Structure 1
């Protein structure tokens, strides 16, 4: 198993939920971490938690990953603060709460821009650093919603995740020339309101609600990152038992 000690990792959408849990998990595994989100106040709280918990170096910045210009500035700043990045976790995503026909054009555009364009701009901006630190790794957090027959979410969200899934598969072939691995993690229902340190009671509650504890997804990311140099984990799908009880034929 490869060690993550001393490596520099970037996590998008790191202010809460799965992104926050992944950032904490990477720091515990020995990574220095650069965090970004559109919620800088929450990022500061996560950074303080990591410093207190693991003592690893942390850089954080408010970033809209849908903006190529903002991502480029973040890439330079993260490298200056922590050194060249060797792990990129694309976790940020948009979401459409309203019914497909009632959602505003702005909400649909934001969902597509953050979910699909975000990973494109992040990979492009960090590519030089990833190549420099190779063997390196990109992990794109998509969703079982990327498989239309497995989702009853808004079609706009599904389309964005489907595109991110296709991007991941294409990047995997493109990146091999620079010794960069690319992995896709496809979560189902996530009990993301529970903290990575929640005990058995919280895990039990999440099981009762049919959602998978966030720690399961963190472990999947760490598994993909710590395989031997000769192997690449192409994708990991994790569904909850409840997902199989859902009728996806209707919205």
Structure 2
């Protein structure tokens, strides 16, 4: 366990499972107190909280639906209030709706835009009331934002590509405040939603240069670096942690 993030407080949206849980645990390992949001599964969120507390860190699980801007703002404010400050915001929560463009309805489009685009924007707005000099904003995008290898990914790909503009615009806007803003694009990652032993895993792995899925910890390692003091001169960057998927 390192102390790189001692005395820091992080909020990880969608931190109860998969990549989000991996990020929450890694930030705690590096010394941060961590709040995380979840939409439905309180039990899984509580498990992550217990794991963080077992490391000697403070932890907090907040129920919040990313499609509800009021809930997103409330989660940010509660994390800062209950843990005393906010230094790191990780926009991880997302929905993954797949289908042909003429099959997905307006409700699907609205939900994807609300959770994958509007929620990170709203979370940043709320976080800026709490982030001081040296603050960190890190969003989690996707490899399919750069390379959609299967049909049916248009809506999701569009939503994740929007985070590139959010990241670069914010980096320029917040640079004078010494707040860095970066985007991490994971490749195929072994989670419940996309298991490394799933029916399409062999084909998906074949698109990577290394021929395998990542672990959530692999993505979390890059996020932890971007959250650390050592990454103070990295901002506006789009970093692919994808095993060479986009190479």
Q: How far, CA to CA, are the matches of 2:104 and 2:124 in structure 1?
A: 29
Residues 55-134 of structure 1: pairs in structure 2 closer than 5 A: 55-130=56-131, 133-134=132-133
- Summarize the Cα distance change of 1:3–1:49 in structure 2 as closer, same or farther, 3 Å threshold: closer
User: Residue 98 of structure 2 contacts residue 155 of structure 2 at CA under 8 Å; is this kept in 1?
Assistant: no
Shift, 1:158, TM fit: 0.9
User: Residue 89 of structure 2 contacts residue 138 of structure 2 at CA under 8 Å; is this kept in 1?
Assistant: yes
Shift, 1:162, TM fit: 1.0
Shift, 1:30, TM fit: 0.7
Q: Which runs of structure 1 show a deviation greater than 4 angstroms over 4 or more consecutive aligned residues?
A: 206-209
Partner of 2:196: none
Tell me the matched-pair count.
229
Partner of 1:145: 144
Where do 5+ consecutive residues of structure 2 fail to align? 194-204
TM-score, normalised to structure 1's length?
Answer: 0.83
Where do 5+ consecutive residues of structure 1 fail to align? 195-205, 246-251
- 1:236 paired to 2:235: no
Partner of 2:12: 11
Q: How far, CA to CA, are the matches of 1:26 and 1:244 in structure 2?
A: 27
TM-score, normalised to structure 2's length?
Answer: 0.84
Shift, 1:192, TM fit: 2.5
Moved more, 11-20 or 77-86: 77-86
Shift, 1:99, TM fit: 3.2
Shift, 1:104, TM fit: 3.1
Structure 1 or 2: more helix by fraction:
1
Shift, 1:49, TM fit: 2.1
